[in-house]
Amino acid sequence: MDVQIIKLTSLIGDLLDVTKINSGKIYLNETHFDFEKLVIETIEEQQLSTDFTIEMHIEKSGTVFADKDRVSQVITNFISNAIKYSPNTQKIIARVERVENNIQFSVQDFGIGIPEDKKDKVFEQYYRVSGDEETTFPGLGLGLFISAQIVERSNGKIWVNSIPEKGSSFCFSLPVANQ
């Protein structure tokens, strides 16, 4: 499919998601699934449409109980942001690690970074660090808002570590499922 059509489709998808979230009608189709397997599948698909090297450091971590497609959407959002906001580098690193009873996923980039006072705001609806007029990195400011809603609805946590002009690490964690 043409890249412009893919972008338009995902934009329409994001706008529909926001409508669902704001009307309290975002439904999660939760199942048990192997977290690292989903990460590998999602990243392999992303790798097909980018020249960036997506390095993977995947620790055997376990099963989670969540909406598989939605979790894949969060992983995709992190990766597409890491690529978009890294104008001068060609590599990002995705990690999966087990931290106590949680599985943690992160994407590290070496891009423009985020000022300390803006770090929490990036998860708000329509928030963009560079403002609405900025056209160097086009977007609506919805990807992280939707991601945060999905993760929080799945009893997880989402956060970012960042240093301006050095890069960012976007992370989320989900509880390991007791089956």
Contact yes or no for 95/39 (Cβ under 8 A)? no
Return d(Cα 16, Cα 83) in angstroms, integer.
24
Q: What's the CA gap between 154 and 67, in Å, rounded?
A: 8
Give the Cα separation of 125 and 90 in Å (integer).
28
Residues 52-91, one symbol each (x = binds ligand ATP by CB under 6 A, - = not), give -------------------------x---xx--x------
Strands 102-108 and 91-99: antiparallel
| Cβ at position 139, least distance to Mg ion in Å | 5
Which listed residue (61, 72, 73, 81) binds Mg ion by CB under 5 A? 81
Q: Does 35 bind ligand ATP (CB under 6 A)?
A: no
Interface with Mg ion includes 111 (CB under 5 A)? no
Query: Does residue number 168 form part of the binding site for Mg ion (CB under 5 A)?
Result: no
One of 64, 75, 111, 151 touching ligand ATP (CB under 6 A): 111
> Residue 122's closest CA among 101, 140, 104, 103?
140
Interaction between residue 130 and ligand ATP (CB under 6 A):
yes
The answer to the question of residue 92 lying near ligand ATP (CB under 6 A) is no
Supply the minimum distance, in Å, between the C-beta of residue 101 and ligand ATP. 27
The helix-helix angle for 35-47 and 68-84 (nearest 10°) equals 40
Choices 17-25, 35-43, 45-53, 127-135; region in contact with ligand ATP by CB under 6 A: 127-135
Give the dihedral sign, CA 20/26/27/31: positive
Which among ligand ATP, Mg ion, none contacts residue 42 (Cβ within 5 to 8 A by kind)?
none
Residue 168 engages ligand ATP in binding (rule: CB under 6 A) = yes
